[in-house]
Structure 1
Amino acid sequence: MGWTHYSGPASAFPPMSTWKTFEQIFNANQSEMLQTGDTHEDVGRIWNAVEAAAKEIGVEERVIFCIIMQESTGNVGIGTTTDPGGKATGGLMQAEESPAFPGKHGLSQAQISAMVTAGTKHFKGNLKQLDDKDTASTIYRALRLYNSGKINESNLSDGEKATPSYVSDIANRLQGRTNKDKGRDEL
């Protein structure tokens, strides 16, 4: 299964019925997380953190995990970066106000959960800017806001100075594709 390029309005992106389960998506990405230097314990703690944040904050667990894979490949020791607005972002979800542990692996559940909670709260804020409904359309639009802070409703691949393929990439991840599928593009 190759990587598909999606663009246009949210309606041009795949429906939730095509998304894999959280377990399927997570299992497909375990080897990539381990290749970052994560320990097996780190990977297990990411699972725990995603489930807890999904329940506590009210965000789809598959979406949380796919943001993690897009932003950090699940690398708990990823450093901080700067968003298009010049603000520092860090942690598994590269979110503002998230703790970061550059170069460190073998983190505690509390440290990993803090990163996932910060990113999930940020994404929930994007959902609330829209209509806060758990639909594919709202999620895709909120993903554009998460990445760029702006949204062109007619083209979610308009990066507004951020990553143009961000929403498309996560749509692929939600369907069970991984980074190794990127080289095998489908039209």
Structure 2
Amino acid sequence: MGNSTQPTGNSTIIPTNSRDYYSCAGPDVKDYPPKGEWLSFNALWGINSPTIVKNNKDSAYADFIKQGIQDVSRASKVDARLILSIIMQESGGNAQVECTGYDYKRDCGIMQMRGAANFSSSEPEKSIREMIEDSVYGVSEPGDLSWIKGTFWQGNPFAAAHLYNAGSVEENLTVQVGENLNSKWYANDIASRLLGWNGSKQGCENSRKCPNHGFENRQCQG
């Protein structure tokens, strides 16, 4: 696609133009790329770390995020690449991202999980780790997905990502759930990030070429 290099099995090769590397997967759960096709964590970090540093204006925060991802991944058995991709999708790696929503239905933290910890400037490393932990393990706020534990992520990661975003899941991951427009392409965005897309506008433009995915009205980001 474009002048990108096709990665093969846990590749450390970064696509030449990561903006172009958008995957038109689906629509069924089984159609999404298996883990052997995902880039390695180091390759994905190389693609995304410039954005993380830029969004935080402090390279130390990027180091805390990287370490937090790896620590929580080891403890939870959730793939570090998946955690990183959802962080980039939800906040662009901005540790100080504001909560969204209202009243008790507020999505907070670097992964925008309902009821998750928020950033603390007095304890940046600790709070960043807590944000990641809360989003992977779940929290106990009213109306949240508190049943999410490590096992939640052990099935199909794209169904899990869709459920994380939309609150429900179907075999077809390109169907809009309720009023959540993002639910139509969330799983594809995560798949694309795992293959090397950096979340830029060009990837979004390429998604419009995907047949039968209903992405014609995709709102570009970046």
TM-score band by shorter chain is 0.7 to 0.9
Which deviations, in whole Å up to 9, do the C-alpha atoms of 1:61-108 show, x marking residues without a partner? 10011010000000001001129xx8211100000221223xx77962
Please state if 1:172 is matched with 2:199.
no
Match of 2:80 among 32, 55, 61: 61
Query: Are the counterparts in 2 of residues 126 and 146 from structure 1 also a CA contact under 8 Å?
Result: no
Query: Are the counterparts in 1 of residues 137 and 150 from structure 2 also a CA contact under 8 Å?
Result: no
C-alpha distance in structure 2 between counterparts of 1:165 and 1:105, whole Å: 34
* Match in the other structure for 1:117: 133
Please state if 1:34 is matched with 2:60.
no
- Describe the shift of the 1:147–1:183 C-alpha distance in structure 2 as closer, same or farther (beyond 3 A): closer
* Match in the other structure for 2:97: 78
Structure 1, 108-117 or 157-166: larger mean CA deviation: 157-166
Query: Are the counterparts in 2 of residues 78 and 92 from structure 1 also a CA contact under 8 Å?
Result: yes
Query: Are the counterparts in 2 of residues 157 and 165 from structure 1 also a CA contact under 8 Å?
Result: yes
Amino acid corresponding to residue 158 of structure 1 in structure 2: V
Please state if 1:158 is matched with 2:180.
no
The normalised TM-score by structure 2 is 0.72
Matched position secondary structure for 1:182: helix
C-alpha distance in structure 1 between counterparts of 2:150 and 2:174, whole Å: 18
Amino acid corresponding to residue 89 of structure 2 in structure 1: Q
- Describe the shift of the 1:185–1:45 C-alpha distance in structure 2 as closer, same or farther (beyond 3 A): same
C-alpha distance in structure 2 between counterparts of 1:118 and 1:165, whole Å: 24
The normalised TM-score by structure 1 is 0.84
Query: Are the counterparts in 1 of residues 162 and 186 from structure 2 also a CA contact under 8 Å?
Result: yes
Query: Are the counterparts in 2 of residues 38 and 105 from structure 1 also a CA contact under 8 Å?
Result: no
- Percent sequence identity over aligned pairs: 23
Q: Which has a greater percent of helix?
A: 1
Match of 1:24 among 26, 40, 43: 43
Query: Are the counterparts in 2 of residues 53 and 116 from structure 1 also a CA contact under 8 Å?
Result: yes
User: Does 1 or 2 have the higher relative contact order (CA < 8 Å, sep 6+)?
Assistant: 1
5 Å-filtered alignment, 1:117-156, equals 117-122=133-138, 125=148, 128=151, 133=154, 138-153=156-171, 155-156=172-173
C-alpha distance in structure 1 between counterparts of 2:203 and 2:47, whole Å: 14
5 Å-filtered alignment, 1:2-13, equals 2=20, 3-13=22-32
How far residue 27 of structure 1 moved from its aligned partner, in angstroms, is 1.2
Matched position secondary structure for 1:55: helix
Unaligned runs of 5+ in 2: 5-19, 139-144, 211-222
Matched position secondary structure for 1:8: coil
Matched position secondary structure for 1:150: coil
* Match in the other structure for 1:97: 115
Q: Please report the RMSD computed on the Cα atoms of aligned residues, expressed in angstroms.
A: 2.4
Unaligned runs of 5+ in 1: none
- Describe the shift of the 1:177–1:107 C-alpha distance in structure 2 as closer, same or farther (beyond 3 A): farther
